[in-house]
Amino acid sequence: MQIFNTMTRQKEEFVPQKEGEYRIYVCGPTVYNYIHIGNARPMIVFDTLRRYLEYCGNKVYYVSNITDIDDKLIKKGQEEGTSMQEVARKFEAEYIRDSDGLNVKAPTVRPRATEHIGEIIHIVKDLVDSGHAYVARNGDVYFRVKSDPGYGKLSHLNLDDLESGNRELRSRMDDDLKEDPADFAVWKAAKPGEPYWESPWGHGRPGWHIECSAMARKHLGKTIDLHAGGQDLIFPHHENEIAQSECANGCTFSRYWMHNGFLNINNEKMSKSANNFFTVREIADKYGYEPIRYFMLTAGYRMPLNYTVELIESCKNSLERMYTCRDNLDFAIEHAHGTDTALVEKCEDARKKFKAAMDDDLNTPDALAAIFDLVKDINTLSDASDKATLETAAKTFDELTGVLGLLYNRKKTDSIPAEVTALVEERAAAKKAKDWGRADAIRAQLTEMGWSVTDTAQGPKLAKL
Ligand SMILES: [Zn+2]
């Protein structure tokens, strides 16, 4: 499989350190509110990557963290007269509910920052001891960016560009605690009333970037195979993670980097002030979770993606076509009477096209197109196919839609009540006797009972209304 590596800016063969095992870290949310629709994109994209790697027979260790200590969390706790921890636990639960709704598989580990303070202090201490970080007079600890010759390699920024950008900032800083404006906090001294932990530098709490360095090392090792997240995390978050981890560990932090593109709303940048800000929850309440998942797969993950109501509705319709095709397939299997096997080859074609698309840097739009080619073939060929062929088609269909994490809301075929079966039989007899009035009356009665009946070449087909 080829993926586009942000570090080298080219597509490369995605080869793990250990054959058949991928170690992946994806930055998770800061749990101070419901997640917004932009947050859902990396969740779905990298879950799809994980599913595909697993489908290809690999083991995937997938770590995605919970940031449960942060300025926004502290502020929200103070505003609501509760603790930071209570806010964090509440919105962590809401995040997991959305995540489950979107059919994102639970990570192998979902570590919380506040449960890794020991590991964080350990890394900060290593950085201070080796001269890569220094303690400011107020107890903050800053990473010394100039001590890392590789700094800027992911974002392809150089320190001089950063300096000029920061010059203005520096002139406005009345209390300059940093040696250099590009330096960033790995440990922050606690202000009065803030939550804190004991550390060799006094009461304080971790900076944001350091938590991912500590949790990745603890759960995946010093060198991981892939680090992924939204494009907005490249700088400074991921750049800073690399600096801290590589200076502390003395080895490559992540062998590959993947970043998904931005999500716009009605062709504009999503913002609360522009009144085009949507949470996953409010969209899911209106359209369901699955159309959101489908929507995120309609564009290549690196492309910008534009959310509109029309698009989410069209995704809902596309899903409907998939569900109908799959339900028809079940019915065809039950009533199989043909002898044709041409569909088997079509299944092979679809699988080949699907894999070729996914192998090409997770080209999900082409993978969806391969599934829809199969939908067309199933719709045309299933009537004439034999039972084994239809079963192969169903298996292939489930396999490919499953890799994309779709079609997870299939209604289990309800057992049909005896009185319904009796009525269907009575209606068939009435039709045979050309008693159309009676047949129509029974259909109306079935509708009343919540069942629809359609006459097909294989006999009457029942469905729940
Ligand atoms: Zn992170």
Binding residues for ATP: 272
CA 298–ligand 1 middle distance (angstroms): 26
Binding residues: 27, 212, 237, 241, 272
**What DSSP character marks residue 321?**
H
CA 291–ligand 1 middle distance (angstroms): 27
If you compute the radius of gyration of the chain from its CA atoms, what whole number of angstroms results? Answer: 28
Give the model's confidence band at 463: pLDDT under 50 very low, under 70 low, under 90 confident, else very high. Answer: confident
CA 83–ligand 1 middle distance (angstroms): 23
Whole-number pLDDT of residue 464: 81
Whole-number pLDDT of residue 176: 80
Domain covering 284-403, topology: Isoleucyl-tRNA Synthetase; Domain 1 (1.10.730)
Whole-number pLDDT of residue 457: 75
CA 237–ligand 1 middle distance (angstroms): 6
The answer to whether 400 and 368 are in contact (CB under 8 A) is no
CA 285–ligand 1 middle distance (angstroms): 29
CA 420–ligand 1 middle distance (angstroms): 56
In this prediction, residues 36-63 reach a mean pLDDT of: 98
Whole-number pLDDT of residue 168: 52
Residue-range domain boundaries for the chain: 2-260, 284-403, 418-464
CA 27–ligand 1 middle distance (angstroms): 4
Nearest C-alpha neighbor of 290 from the set 413, 411, 405: 405
What superfamily does domain 2-260 belong to in CATH?
HUPs (3.40.50.620)
DSSP per residue, 38-88: HHHHHHHHHHHHHHHHHHTT-EEEEEE-BB--SHHHHHHHHHTTS-HHHHH
Structure-token pair, residue 68: 């449960």
CA 327–ligand 1 middle distance (angstroms): 42
Distance (Å, whole) CA 147 – CA 48: 38
Task: Tell whether the model's pLDDT for residue 175 goes beyond 80.
Answer: no
The answer to whether 392 and 35 are in contact (CB under 8 A) is no
The answer to whether 135 and 141 are in contact (CB under 8 A) is yes
CA 430–ligand 1 middle distance (angstroms): 68
In this prediction, residues 216-222 reach a mean pLDDT of: 98
Handedness of CA 282, 288, 289, 293 (dihedral sign): negative
CA angle 274-33-106, nearest 5°?
A: 120
Cα-Cα end-to-end distance for the chain = 43
The answer to whether 446 and 453 are in contact (CB under 8 A) is yes
Binding residues for Zn(2+): 27, 212, 237, 241
CA 116–ligand 1 middle distance (angstroms): 14
Give the model's confidence band at 220: pLDDT under 50 very low, under 70 low, under 90 confident, else very high. Answer: very high
CA 238–ligand 1 middle distance (angstroms): 7
- pLDDT tens by residue, 123-165: 999 999 999 999 999 999 999 999 999 999 999 887 676 665 5
CA 172–ligand 1 middle distance (angstroms): 28
Task: Tell whether the model's pLDDT for residue 174 goes beyond 50.
Answer: no
- pLDDT tens by residue, 268-298: 888 877 778 899 999 999 999 999 999 999 9
- pLDDT tens by residue, 401-423: 999 999 999 876 567 888 898 99
CA 177–ligand 1 middle distance (angstroms): 25
